[in-house]
Amino acid sequence: MTYLLPQLVALDMDGTLLDAHGQLPADFSELQDLATARGCELVPASGRQLATLKDMFPKGETFIAENGSVIMRGGEIIAAFPLAESTVHAAREAAAAIEVEHTVVLCSPETAYVARDVSDAARTEIAKYYKAVTWVDDLDAVPDSNIIKIAIFCESGTEAHIYDPIVRAVPEDNVAVSGKVWLDVMARGVEKGMALTKLAELAGIPIAATVAFGDYLNDFEMLRAAGTAVAMENAHPQLKEIADIIAPANTNNGVSTVLRQLLRT
């Protein structure tokens, strides 16, 4: 099958672009140069916060951060989508009633608020995804306003222990299982697919000329929105069902392999 030469490529990070150690592929700089030469922009699209993505890609100017809750283009934040205060309150109440050990992270566009008394496992995970962290003695002291995402870490598994009670608490909002140990709550209609569509529109790029790479359920809408949907070999089965292409696993440099083919090298 022949695909359009991509003009905008959205790249999920963990389980997709990054290897098993959370590192960028060795040939990523070369891949960026190749994409630029073909008139194509590579856009990190992640559940990670904007500060983290900017640190990972110091030359980057366009990002989809916090699962679409924050969009940066040309080095400027062009959109941020806060949760309703009632949603923040309801989700936090539901989380507090969950008996399985878990950690709540309250995300604003600038920082992530986390209680100091979290487990070592939670601190390790938070350090991976949040460059800007504000540690507080009591999370209840953080205002419910200007929260763009609630992230919940559960080492025992978010799909099994966290998803159902949170969905019941905030059924009108977007609750996404973003990894085996992470769940994210965003405002209704806010997800990576919406952000990709918005970026393509602003750039004057037809959605048919976009490509999205992903591996987990928080990438579902992004793959569905893109002109060409690429799921990794290690992806959740639901992503593979809607994918146009199955790429080799992230541990086998799958993004580079498929992207080079799409760029027709």
Burial class (CB in 10 A: 0-12, 13-18, 19+), 131: middle
65-103 pLDDT, tens per residue? 999 999 999 999 999 999 999 999 999 999 999 999 999
Task: Note the pLDDT of residue 264.
Answer: 85
Residue range 190-240, pLDDT digits in tens? 999 999 999 999 999 999 999 999 999 999 999 999 999 999 999 999 999
Helix (H, G, I), strand (E, B) or coil at 248: coil
How sure is the predictor about 2, in pLDDT bands with cuts at 50, 70 and 90?
Answer: confident
Backbone angles phi, psi at 142, to 5 degrees: -80, 125
Give me the pLDDT at residue 265, please.
58
Tens of pLDDT, residue by residue over 36-62, are 999 999 999 999 999 999 999 998 999
> What average pLDDT score do residues 152-165 get?
97
Say yes or no to pLDDT of 165 above 90.
Answer: yes
Token look-up 């050990």 returns: 101
Give the largest CA-CA distance in the chain. 56
Number of Cβ within 10 Å of residue 79's Cβ equals 17
Tokens of 113: 């608020």
Label residues 46-71 b or e (16+ Cβ within 10 Å = b). bbbbbbbbbebbeebebbbbbbbbbb
Q: Residue 205 — φ and ψ, nearest 5°?
A: -105, 130
Mean local confidence (pLDDT), 101-114: 96
Residues in the chain: 265
Query: Do 211 and 9 meet the contact criterion of CB atoms below 8 Å apart?
Result: yes
User: Average pLDDT, whole number, for the chain?
Assistant: 95
pLDDT at 4: 81
Per-residue tokens: 200? 């393509």
The three-state secondary structure class of 197 is helix
Which region, left, alpha or beta, applies to residue 69 given φ > 0 means left and ψ of -120 to 50 means alpha? alpha
Q: What is the sign of the dihedral through the CA atoms of 175, 237, 24 and 203?
A: negative
DSSP 203-215: HT--GGGEEEEE-
d(CA 56, CA 150): 22
- Give the angle subtended at the CA of 202 by the CAs of 262 and 71, to the nearest 5°: 85
Per-residue pLDDT tens digits for 124-144:
999 999 999 999 999 999 999
Rounded average pLDDT over 10-37? 95
Identify the sign of the CA torsion 235, 240, 244, 248: positive
CA 260 to CA 12: how far, in whole Å?
A: 17
What is residue 127's predicted lDDT score, i.e. its pLDDT?
A: 94
Predicted TM-score of the model (pTM): 0.86
